[in-house]
Amino acid sequence: MRASAFAFFLCVFCLSNYLGAEDETQDRPPPINREGWRLGLDLGAGDIDYNLFGQPYGGEKFYMALNASYAVTNQARIGVETNGWLLESGNLNYASGEGISQVIMLTGHVYPLEASHFYLKMGWGVSSYWDDRIGYRESESGTWSLGLGTDFFFNNQSGWSPYVSFSSGDFEVGDYDAVTIAVSFFWNQK
């Protein structure tokens, strides 16, 4: 999964630079308008390594996120996000289920090239580990993430954004590191 994430990053970077490249025979293209609010739903998979109560675990897990951000400049967005990885699905017949979530994160997106859709994504916030198998347990801690991606538009207001990110956090009962590949489906309000 980590090799796939690296290959994904290279493809995204190359494609983003190709789409944002300037033609020397033409005038410079106008800057991309990133004004207003953006709402997003992210779906993907994460290769997550975690240690709980001194036992190592890991594997590829389903990932989902909800986010909202605002463009403070044409090359920077700030926002909030909640996301998580499902470690074990729940069951209605008996108490089960386990997961790690980044309960709330303050996020920033920086577009280093004005005429490109390529961005750097960073975040800091609070993460939570929960387990319903042996009574309800929860442990919270600080977390951070760093990622790379690019935007593609369906029309003036909506599009999709593939990205790869690395996240890490420590709990009272353990810690985790995750490499996540996801696609954000977003809507802009300009």
Count: domains in the chain: 1
Q: Does some domain include residue 74? A: yes
0.95 surpassed by pTM: no
Range of the domain at 182: 2-19+35-189
Q: Are 47 and 2 in contact (CB under 8 A)?
A: yes
Q: Does some domain include residue 159? A: yes
Q: Does some domain include residue 109? A: yes
* pLDDT tens, residue by residue, 58-77: 889 999 999 999 999 989 99
Q: Single out the residue of 57, 50, 6, 18 nearest to residue 164, CA to CA.
A: 6
Q: Does some domain include residue 27? A: no
Q: Does some domain include residue 176? A: yes
Q: Is it the case that residue 106 has pLDDT exceeding 50?
A: yes
What percentage of the chain carries pLDDT values higher than 90?
46
Residue 160: pLDDT band with limits 50, 70, 90: very high
Rg, C-alpha atoms of the chain: 18
- CB neighbourhood size of 153 (10 A): 14
Q: Does some domain include residue 26? A: no
What span, in angstroms and rounded, lies between the C-alpha atoms of 69 and 65?
Answer: 13
Give the bridge partners for 167, in sequence order: 145, 178
Q: Does some domain include residue 95? A: yes
pLDDT of residue 23: 47
Residues 6+ apart with CB under 8 A from 88: 96, 97, 98, 99, 133
Q: What is the mean pLDDT of the chain?
A: 82
Query: Region 43-70: what's the mean pLDDT?
Result: 90
Q: Does some domain include residue 150? A: yes
Q: Single out the residue of 4, 190, 176 nearest to residue 84, CA to CA.
A: 176
CATH of the domain at 86: 2.40.160.20
Q: Is it the case that residue 56 has pLDDT exceeding 80?
A: yes
